[in-house]
Structures are given as C-alpha cells and as structure tokens.
Structure 1
C-alpha cells in the first residue's frame, strides 16, 4: 500500500507538470517556427560537419543520484564529438584529495575520499515532436581505483557483481521545459538486481537569466540506490543555475544543488562552476 501511495503521488505530480509544459509549449511554438525557418538553410549545410564541445566543472562535492561520492572537491572534464544527432565522448571526475586519504571501494556503494570515475559514452538524440526531444545513450562507469579499464569481470572476493565497468542504458525525454530521465544498469549492477533510476524535473525561467529546476527521483524496486529493500524516493530537490559569457565562444555556468534523500534521510548541498568551450 505504501508503494501504491508513492506511485499515485508521482502520477499526480507528472500530470500537473505535463499540463504546465503543454501550456508553455503553445506559447513558444510561434517563436520557434520563425527561428527554425531562418536557420533551416544553415543547418542543412552544417549537418554533415563534426562538432567538438569541451567543458570542465569544479564541484565542491560529487552528489550523484542522491549519493555523495566523497566530500572533497572534484574536477570533472567532459569532451563530446557530435555529427547531426550522433554523439560520442568521455566524461570524468577526479577528487582533489591526497591519494593516501582514499580507499578503493565498497561493494555496496563505490565511495572513497579519492573517488575517481571515467565514463566513455555514445548516443543519438533528436526531435520526436514539435516541442519534444529524445536522447538515448549507452555508457560505462569505470572506477580506476578498482580493476582495469574495460575489465568487465572484476568481481569481488566471495562473488557478486563487478566493482567497476557498470554499463548503463540512459534515456532523456524533454517536452518543453519538462524533462524525464531513466538510467538502467544492465551489466555489472552492484545490487545484482538491474538497478533502474527514474527522475523528473521542470525548469523555470526567472529574471536575470536565472533558471531553477525542481526535481524528484526514485526507484521502482530494491536496487543499488536504496537501503530499505523496496521501491522508494531517492531525491527531492532543486538546481539553481545561471550562465555568463566571459569571452568569445567561452561561457561560465554556475549551479547550486540542494538535494534531500528521503531514503537515507540526508540533505546534501553542492556548488558547481563550469567553463564551456
């Protein structure tokens, strides 16, 4: 019955945000039609060109899906190569902590003070409606603290799932300012239970180009993200962000994260600064 209440609540939130998104979509369609018609010729000439996008983030803490992966600041570079809707790249996170302060990993949650992660990814995204987009990608979470690169059989002593190279199928669906996210660990899931993570958010625009995205996330079964052996909410919170141009083709994005994890009864906060080229 408790799980049914969670699902009912989530559906009510979903319907409310969907109605808001549709209203916003009607207002924006007219503007987008004019803009799209003006840029159509340029897009045709560039659709076969490869683009390169680089960014680097300094995060005060690495908060990931309601889990805190170390309390030290992290530096997180990302490079993406794209052509049309196809893209591929590598994202990484390295804790700015002394190496001797870190452990290797926990078989339950891979947390260490010198936590490191490298994520190669490949995917495809594009429009699926007038005001909606869908992105599908496959990626692997590689932890250099545990095992070798692409060692998919790095199992812990006593058996169980591999401690590194967790493979995830990820989908992102946007309808106007409403977004849905799903991540499924289908290879080397630490819980041996095919962990599925679901998230939904909505972005509000405020004066001075400030954006606030409240969101909610949860899991439908007992898996890697929960501690109580059942479906549960894992995050309730919001992101506040603002972008600044600081030079030709260079932007600085600032973001503050406020996240509460109901499953672990923990409140976490972080501040991120990202330079985008």
Structure 2
C-alpha cells in the first residue's frame, strides 16, 4: 500500500492544490469503464480522467470530435461506480461548450447530475472564458487544458508540439493565468516544450498536469490504453509503456483458439 493511499482517503480538488504546495507529484490516468477504473483507482492513481479520447481507443474514431455528450455520460457513470479514492474528471466533448456559455453550463450540469462526476475539463483559453465562468458560477469544478488541444485538430492540422514560437508561448502563459484567475482548480498542458511548461507551473498556484510537457510540472497524465500497451501503433516520445498487453493478449487469445479447436478446452476439471 502506497503512502498516498494511507494519507488520502478521497482525493478532492483541494487535495490536489495541497499536493502542489507540498511538492507531491500528482498521478493521473484515463479510464472509460468500470473494470479498468476499479484497477486504476485501486492502484492509487490520484485523478481519473474520463477523456474524450474514448472516441479513439474505445470507438475507433480517428479524432476525439465524434464522441457525444450522452456517450461521455455513459463512460463517466461506469467509472464513477468504480472510483472509491480517485478524483474523477470528465471531458466536455466537442460542440458542447465552445460557442455558447449557456450550452456549456447545461452540458456540465448534465455530466455532474447524470454521471456523478466530480469535475469537468474544457480545452482552450480566452476564447472559452465565458463558458468557464458560467460553469464555475454554478459550483462545478473546472480543469483547463492548453497547448495541443485535440478537439481543435482540424484548426492546427497536425499533432506536433505546440507553443514553440514566442507568440504562441506568450499566449499560452496568458491563458494559464486567466484560467487560474477565473477559478480553475488545475490545468493540463499537452505537448509543449518542457521549459515553457515548467515556467507556467511555477507562475501559478494551481496544479499543472503534463502530457508531453516534461518533468517540471506538478503531475503527469497518460492514456491508460497507451501506457499498458493495449495500443501499439501510437508511439510519441512522451509515452512510456509499462506493459505490452497487446502482445500478451494476442498470445493468450491465440492459445484459447488453439485449445478450443484441439478440444483441449474445457478439460475434465473445467466441467460440471
């Protein structure tokens, strides 16, 4: 049992701020279903992100854009039933908050009421400021997301590193400060230079969680299916695979097929 498990019975948004102030790194992973979330929660992960990346790893879409609010609520509800310790943050999917603050509030309320999630995450900076304010005014915790924002992939046209140029880097720093002042409890920084990410983390009091943003931030997040090697074609520099489940599962399933066809399974001990 880890020290974190003994110290924190239930992670809250306040816990994360306290962890940053104490210099304790924050662990965050995605999960989209009950079984995987139960494993992630039991392993001591601080934050479970019900990410719109479910569009990719669960549904097979090329981007995160197709997933709907109803589908996100379904995934989040499954995760919430498993989480006993972790803070559960749910992505607001594309099209549910960008243009209309009232629609953003309705979307966030649906997630909180229908899934039981603990907070929502939105991608973007000053362009969604009013949506963030409207959600926060309703008492719903908000996590920001800057840098590479996958919901805007067709605007960027590429998944390459963001904010390498001075102008974009300056805008990112300004957006991070704005998100803090607006009341966000944390910010995800995705695929930006490590030096910039460290500067942002040191300039604000709320936690900064990185993915492809170096080691100078307050915590890290990865997509669970990538981290355990269930996916095998996605190989960015920032990804560390802790297992190779794709290979292990392929071998196991292949053996099952062989055993069934050879009438080795089930044997006498596996029958009633």
Query: TM-score if structure 2 supplies the norm length?
Result: 0.30
Query: TM-score if structure 1 supplies the norm length?
Result: 0.29
Higher helix share: 2
